[in-house]
Amino acid sequence: MESHLFIVNHQRHNTTIEFFILPLPHSGTRPILARHVQTLSHPSFVSPNAIATISPSSFYVTNDHLMTRRLPSIFGEILPMVETSLALPLGWVDRVDLDLSNTAPGQVKFAVSRAISNIPFANGIAISADKQELAVASSTTLNVYLYEVNTTLTENRIPRHKGSIQVPFHPDNLSYGAGRTLYVGGHPAFFSLIKVSKRKQLSAPSWVASFTPSKDDMRSPAMSSGVRPTHTMQTLYQSDGSGFGMSTTGAFVSSHVDGTKDAIDGKGSIFVTGLYEEGVLECKR
């Protein structure tokens, strides 16, 4: 038995996706070592950001920018910031399908197809447990876009946009719990994050929240636009930066072995990672 692992690799001259094979966890004392199978490179991989696996041989990957810092001279310094600041809809999502009939190193064939276009700063991506809903974070517009998908390998249907969730911070990475509850980690103070990246301050605020479908509930803070919200928001972790700062991910792990009850009682742990932070923060629920 084995599991497949896909990792975005930001190299100096281009960005690739690394394909590894992992043996499933076992009770032995020997460490689990990943075996590198292949470096996936494609002209469409301009600025890969996050990956959502559909199956052992298929995944979605976001590209957050069309213009990157790899552009020559001053263009690489100015144009990516212009794309970000103006929230230009130049990001996209690709679907990658691998032919695993031959998994010899360097011999795996794969195809890349455009799944979704015109997303400003397409950042985190996640697919629901039933493989029927796809969520994509648009960091500059403070939205999470939702799509209806059909992920069967025999019918590669383009995801259909079904709505969006407006969030009160810049969403980064996404993850689903049981059902359609979506966990979103992000940044309430984007310019503070920029200052940290330029070493002008030590940390920046965090915000992690869950969004549960609830068409009839008017209590959600996500209704700032005056439109009836489709999801109820619950803040799970916040920091002004003095605690665990710069949250990028909030992943929920159920305390129940089979995970079937986490949508009912919410018992488990929220694991938070932070940009430039050391370690992982665990919050018990």
Average pLDDT over residues 11-35: 83
**For residue 207, is it within any domain?**
yes
pLDDT exceeds 90 at position 217: no
The total of structural domains in the chain comes to 1
Average pLDDT over residues 146-159: 75
Q: What is the pLDDT of residue 261?
A: 52
The residue segments making up the domain with residue 175 are 167-285
**For residue 9, is it within any domain?**
no
Q: What is the pLDDT of residue 190?
A: 86
Among residues 48, 60, 44, the alpha carbon closest in space to that of 15 is found at 48
**For residue 205, is it within any domain?**
yes
Q: How far apart are CA 175 and CA 249, in angstroms?
A: 8
Q: How confident is the model at residue 228 (pLDDT cuts 50, 70, 90)?
A: low
Q: What is the pLDDT of residue 218?
A: 42
Q: What is the pLDDT of residue 12?
A: 83
Q: What is the pLDDT of residues 38-83, one digit of tens each?
A: 999 999 999 999 999 999 999 999 999 999 989 988 999 899 999 9
Q: How far apart are CA 60 and CA 44, in angstroms?
A: 12
Q: What is the 3-state secondary structure (H, E, C) of 145-163?
A: EEEEEECCCCCCEEEEEEE
Average pLDDT over residues 223-251: 83
Q: What is the pLDDT of residues 175-184, one digit of tens each?
A: 998 789 999 9
**For residue 118, is it within any domain?**
no
Q: How far apart are CA 281 and CA 270, in angstroms?
A: 8
**For residue 71, is it within any domain?**
no
82 CB contacts (<8 Å, ≥6 apart)? 67, 88
**For residue 253, is it within any domain?**
yes
Q: How far apart are CA 283 and CA 285, in angstroms?
A: 7
**For residue 186, is it within any domain?**
yes
Q: How confident is the model at residue 226 (pLDDT cuts 50, 70, 90)?
A: very low
Q: What is the pLDDT of residue 262?
A: 52
Average pLDDT over residues 145-170: 84
Q: What is the pLDDT of residues 245-257, one digit of tens each?
A: 999 999 998 876 5
pTM of the model: 0.89
Residue showing tokens 């390998």: 153
pLDDT exceeds 90 at position 118: yes
DSSP β-ladder status, 143-150 and 157-166: antiparallel
Q: How confident is the model at residue 270 (pLDDT cuts 50, 70, 90)?
A: very high
**For residue 210, is it within any domain?**
yes
